[in-house]
Amino acid sequence: MKITFDFEKPLAEIEGQIEKVKQVEEKNKLDMSATIAELEAKLHEAQKEIYQNLTGWQKVQISRHPERPYTLQYLELMCDDFIELHGDRTVGDDKAIIGGWGTMNGQTAMFIGHQKGRNTKERQYRNFGMANPEGYRKALRLMKMAEKFNKPIITLIDTPGAYPGLEAEERGQGEAIARNLLEMAVLKVPIICVIIGEGASGGALGIGIGDKVMMLDNSWYSVISPENCSTILFKTWEQKERAAEMLKLTSTEMLKNKLIDGVIKEPLGGAHQDPVAMAATLKKQLLKDLKALSERNIDELVTERIDKFCSMGVVEE
C-alpha cells in the first residue's frame, strides 16, 4: 500500500511490524507464519476501519493524490484505440480539457475529460486542470460531432474549477459553461459523466450534464472547494475539514441527496493504489451503462435527462 496521509499512519506501523517479523524469520530460519498471519489480519481490519470510515476531508485528500489516475491514463487503460482531437476552432486548444474518439471493446464513443499534470511542468501545461472558455467550447464542438454521428458521449470530470483568469473573463467563461449546460441538456445521444477526482462547481458541471452521472467513491463534487468555503465563511482555511463535512460533497452523500445516479467503487485505499484495477472497474461500468442507454428511445432519454435535473432542489410550498 502507498502511505501518503496522516490518517494512514496506523497502517504503516503494522506494515513495519510485518516487515520486521519477516526479517527475523529469514535471518533465524524460524517459522513465524502464525504471527505474520495475525498481523496481516490486523492490517486488514485496520484498512477496513480507516477506508470505510473516511471523512469528507479525507476523501478530498485522496481525490487529489498526486498519483491518482487522470483522464488520459484511463483512456490508455480502457480504450482499444483513441484519437485525440484538438481546438475549439475559434481561439485555440485548451490543454486542461482533452477529447477525442475512442473505442472500448470495439464500441465507439466520444471521450471528453479534464486533464491534470503529474509534475510541475505538466501541471502548468495542463493549467492544473482548470479550463479556459475554449476548453468548454472544444468540448461542445466534440459533443456536437458525437451527436452528428450518433455516438454516445463519456465525460470524465476532474477539476479544481474553471480558470479564474483575465483572458477567461474576456473570452466569456460564464457564457461558455452556460452554453454547455443548455446544449448538453438536449443532445440527442446518450451521455455518461463520471467524476473521477475533483468536481468543483461550474467548471465540473460544464461537462457534467448526463443521462447517468456517477462519482468514483473517493471523488468530491460541490459548488465550492472546502478551502474556499472555509475562507468565505470563517475567514480562514483552517476550517476546511468542517467545511468539507458541511458541504456534503462525498459520493455517498451526493447519491443520498439524489444529485448523482451512482457510485463506483475504488480499490482499497483509493484509485492510486491500483490504477489498472480502477480502470477495469470503470470500463465495466461504462460498457454496462452504454448498453443500457443505447437500448433506450433517445427522445425519452432526453426528456428524462431534463426532468432529472429539473427535479433537483429542495423547496417548500
Note the residues at the interface with another protein (CB under 8 A).
162-166, 168-175, 177-179, 181-183, 185-186, 201-202, 205-206, 208-209, 221-224, 228-229, 232-234, 246-249, 254, 257, 259, 305-306, 309-310, 312-317
Angle, helices 298-310 vs 173-186, to 10°: value is: 130
Q: Which is nearer to another protein, 202 or 270 (CB)?
A: 202
Least distance from another protein to the Cβ atom of residue 157, Å: 12
Least distance from another protein to the Cβ atom of residue 86, Å: 23
Q: Which three cell numbers stand for residue 224?
A: 465550492
Q: Which is nearer to another protein, 10 or 172 (CB)?
A: 172
Is residue 27 exposed (0-12), middle (13-18) or buried (19+ Cβ within 10 Å)?
A: exposed
Write out the DSSP string of 152-186.
-EEEEEEES-S---HHHHHTTHHHHHHHHHHHHHH
DSSP β-ladder status, 97-104 and 81-85 = antiparallel
Write out the DSSP string of 19-88.
HHHHHHHHHHT---HHHHHHHHHHHHHHHHHHHTT--HHHHHHHHT-TTS--HHHHHHHH-SEEEEE---
Is the dihedral angle over the CA atoms 144, 77, 217, 164 positive or is it negative?
negative
Contacts of 16 (CB under 8 A, 6+ apart): none
Least distance from another protein to the Cβ atom of residue 84, Å: 26
Least distance from another protein to the Cβ atom of residue 145, Å: 18
Q: Which is nearer to another protein, 34 or 310 (CB)?
A: 310
Least distance from another protein to the Cβ atom of residue 163, Å: 8
- Are 264 and 285 within 8 A, CB to CB? yes
Radius of gyration of the chain (CA): 21
Q: Which is nearer to another protein, 254 or 279 (CB)?
A: 254
Q: Which is nearer to another protein, 46 or 178 (CB)?
A: 178
Q: Which three cell numbers stand for residue 227?
A: 478551502
Spatial separation of the C-alpha atoms in residues 21 and 84, rounded to whole Å: 50
Q: Which is nearer to another protein, 255 or 287 (CB)?
A: 255
Spatial separation of the C-alpha atoms in residues 189 and 210, rounded to whole Å: 10
Is residue 21 exposed (0-12), middle (13-18) or buried (19+ Cβ within 10 Å)?
A: middle
Q: Which is nearer to another protein, 78 or 247 (CB)?
A: 247
